[in-house]
Amino acid sequence: MAEAGESHPKVVAEAHGVDTFHPPEKMLANHPSKPHLANMEEYKKLYEESITDPTSFWGRQARQMLSWQRDFQTVRSGSLTNGDVSWFTEGQLNACYNCVDRHAHKDPDRVAIIYEADEPGDGRELTYAELLRQVSKTSWVLKQMGVRKGDTVAIYLPMIPEALIAILACIRIGAVHSVVFAGFSADSLRDRVIDGQSKVVITTDEGKRGGKLIGTKKIVDDALKQCPDVTHCLVYKRTGAEIPWTEGRDWWWHEEVDKWPAYYPPETVNAEDPLFLLYTSGSTGKPKGVMHTTGGYLLGAAMTGKYVFDLHDGDRYFCGGDVGWITGHTYVVYAPLLLGVTTVVFEGTPAYPNFSRYWDIIDKHKVTQFYVAPTALRLLKRAGDEHVKAEMKHLRVLGSVGEPIAAEIWKWYFEVVGREKAHVVDTYWQTETGSNVITPLAGVTPTKPGSASMPFFGIEPAIVDPVSGEEIKGNDVEGVLAFKQPWPSMARTVYGSHKRYMDTYLNVYKGYYFTGDGAGRDHQGFYWIRGRVDDVINVSGHRLSTAEIEAALIEHHGIAEAAVVGVADELTGQSISAFVALKDGHETSEQLRKEFVLQVRKSIGPFAAPKTVYIVPDLPKTRSGKIMRRILRKILAGEEDQLGDITTLSDPSIVEKIISTVHASK
């Protein structure tokens, strides 16, 4: 956690008089049918029911939205206090059957996946029937490699259809997928493979992104040098590059799938059996394997897909998130496939070959819902409106996720991208919440730029005073955000460390789930997310922990101590600044600074590289040795006159020296 008193949200609930935007008339006029709810009254009624009678609400939804092989009697049991939440306990189902088979049976020729490759013009489409065949073959391959129900399979794949096929093949045989973002370094991949006890890893020869090649297989090889338990590596041929090969361990995807039949019967699993692990950063150095279970997670994904994004039959949904993060899990894979719509899988970047790439994709594939992080929107807005020529006339919903969206970006999204014809939904949620938790419902909820608006069904938010731990009732209040009731798609544990799960989320304020975010509730009950109150920073929508980056820096032999802080950045939201003190015998040099950045790239991945490294004689520490990051943040913000009492530092004179180092580098 952050030092006491330093990062409690201070902003007062949003001033009155902020513009409210109602679902655009033109969105409703162009709608192929109509939104799933008629108005806010319907939302309020259902919301009320979801909170006061969760058993009847969620029992009904679960039976409506999902196909069960065995019905459940218990809708919800356990509590936040005890950390033993369970949903649909006796129920049995198969996640892949729900995502693929039921649609393939009903409408085999419906397009499940539109693959838009890195190079414009490249790509292909897969129908639900074809997806079922490919997933089945891959299931056979995994089975043959010895994967059993409950085993974990690591997936290190770029954004290609095979990432989805691999995920679906795992869940078809009751295995647990652990997708590792293909931008992570070999060291990070190794840690995740070991922690999740994966024996099989799925990857590509190379990846292709923004016109550049990424040596995925080589990274996997490096990682696997230290993973003796991995018996098999399945390699999809993406570019055909020459790659290193370990006989007996490495197998070509195309050769293996060819050996097996095109149908594999889905394995039945229990509602509370694990579905996947996804590693995420927390306040301490080691990433946590957040575990989601089957029934509840699927329901959260399907329900938010339906109500938040207004998904209807025939829609073409494009979420720009990567499958390596939760947004990609829930909204590239699960939500659209559970609802039987078409999902766009985009391999490239918004800037390649030029800044109109997203808009061209939306036009070309007649996309109806688009979902992306504000960091991409900032980049594209800055590139200039002349790139937004595409008409995008099918767009009904524009989603935002991962970080607060500034009002001016929100308005640009609405006016320039959406031509005021699409409803902007700013969706707040986390890896741990599984699906959107505070969010407008497209076509229904009035919105205010910068506010994630209202709680989703089953979410009972509380604004808590971080000092007293008491809930602050009423409107026009600020504090930290917690939830008072369990919801179906909440994470059930941290893999191998339930205590960590309890301590991070459920023991902070007993009886509540603690989000780690500050938030305000304005005079009309709208929620405004202020950002993390712990040592988690958000760079371009990527969640990183300062402790993790510090741990990476300290691996360098020249560094005695390191402190990392996030600073506001116009383009990336926040950026990383590192302060390091050298070990004796090392001299400040440009070369060393470069090595430090490289060290982080190597330990975590390029996306975690500090933007600036300040080499300082020492860090500001209390007499008990605690690093005062607050002081570093203030110095970077140019608020040197507001450092507060520094006489408690073990060496107050260090502050002046740090200030001059920072000034000298500007």
As given in the structure block, the two tokens for residue 149 are 């129900």
If the CB atoms of residues 221 and 517 are measured against ligand WTA, the closer one turns out to be 517
As given in the structure block, the two tokens for residue 228 are 């003796």
Residue 607 DSSP code: G
- In sequence order, which residues have a C-beta less than 8 Å from that of residue 666 and are 6 or more positions away? none
Question: What residue type is assigned to position 497 of the chain?
Answer: S
- In sequence order, which residues have a C-beta less than 8 Å from that of residue 483 and are 6 or more positions away? 80, 437, 459, 460, 461, 462, 512, 513, 515
Of 256, 315, 426, 535, the one binding ligand WTA by CB under 6 A: 426
Of 307, 358, 428, 526, the one binding ligand WTA by CB under 6 A: 428
Strands 212-214 and 207-209: antiparallel
Under the binding rule (CB under 6 A), the answer on residue 289 touching ligand WTA is no
Under the binding rule (CB under 6 A), the answer on residue 404 touching ligand WTA is yes
Of 103, 292, 329, 543, the one binding ligand WTA by CB under 6 A: 543
Name the one range near ligand WTA by CB under 6 A: 515-523, 563-571, 607-615, 647-655.
515-523
Name the one range near ligand WTA by CB under 6 A: 153-161, 321-329, 339-347, 465-473.
321-329
- In sequence order, which residues have a C-beta less than 8 Å from that of residue 276 and are 6 or more positions away? 167, 170, 171, 176, 177, 178, 179, 291, 292, 329
Under the binding rule (CB under 6 A), the answer on residue 272 touching ligand WTA is no
For residue 518, report the phi and psi dihedrals to the nearest 5 degrees. Answer: -85, 150
Task: Name the nearest CA neighbour of 567 among 622, 632, 503.
Answer: 632
Name the one range near ligand WTA by CB under 6 A: 84-92, 206-214, 396-404, 633-641.
396-404
For residue 27, report the phi and psi dihedrals to the nearest 5 degrees. Answer: -65, -45
Calpha distance 131→164 (Å, rounded): 9
Under the binding rule (CB under 6 A), the answer on residue 529 touching ligand WTA is yes
Calpha distance 79→81 (Å, rounded): 5
If the CB atoms of residues 531 and 605 are measured against ligand WTA, the closer one turns out to be 531
Name the one range near ligand WTA by CB under 6 A: 251-259, 420-428, 551-559, 648-656.
420-428
Of 517, 522, 535, 548, the one binding ligand WTA by CB under 6 A: 517
Sign of the CA dihedral with 472 first, then 474, 478, and 480 last: positive
If the CB atoms of residues 200 and 452 are measured against ligand WTA, the closer one turns out to be 452
For residue 316, report the phi and psi dihedrals to the nearest 5 degrees. Answer: -120, 110
636, 662 in Cβ contact below 8 A? yes
**# residues near ligand WTA by CB under 6 A:** 23
- In angstroms, what is the minimal distance from the CB of 325 to ligand WTA? 6
Instruction: Report CA Rg, the chain.
Output: 24
Of 430, 451, 504, 546, the one binding ligand WTA by CB under 6 A: 430
If the CB atoms of residues 127 and 515 are measured against ligand WTA, the closer one turns out to be 515
Question: What residue type is assigned to position 599 of the chain?
Answer: Q
Under the binding rule (CB under 6 A), the answer on residue 326 touching ligand WTA is yes
As given in the structure block, the two tokens for residue 86 are 């369970």
Task: Name the nearest CA neighbour of 580 among 603, 557, 613.
Answer: 613
- In angstroms, what is the minimal distance from the CB of 88 to ligand WTA? 24
Q: Which residue is nearest to ligand WTA (CB)?
A: 431
Calpha distance 249→224 (Å, rounded): 10
Binding residues among 433-472 for ligand WTA as defined by CB under 6 A: 452
- In angstroms, what is the minimal distance from the CB of 310 to ligand WTA? 18
If the CB atoms of residues 568 and 598 are measured against ligand WTA, the closer one turns out to be 568
Name the one range near ligand WTA by CB under 6 A: 303-311, 334-342, 491-499, 526-534.
526-534
- In angstroms, what is the minimal distance from the CB of 429 to ligand WTA? 5
Of 327, 356, 485, 546, the one binding ligand WTA by CB under 6 A: 327
95, 295 in Cβ contact below 8 A? no
Query: What does the chain come to in residues?
Result: 666
Name the one range near ligand WTA by CB under 6 A: 119-127, 268-276, 426-434, 469-477.
426-434
- In angstroms, what is the minimal distance from the CB of 326 to ligand WTA? 5
The residue ranges that bind ligand WTA (CB under 6 A) are 280, 325-327, 401-404, 426-431, 452, 515-517, 529, 531-532, 538, 543
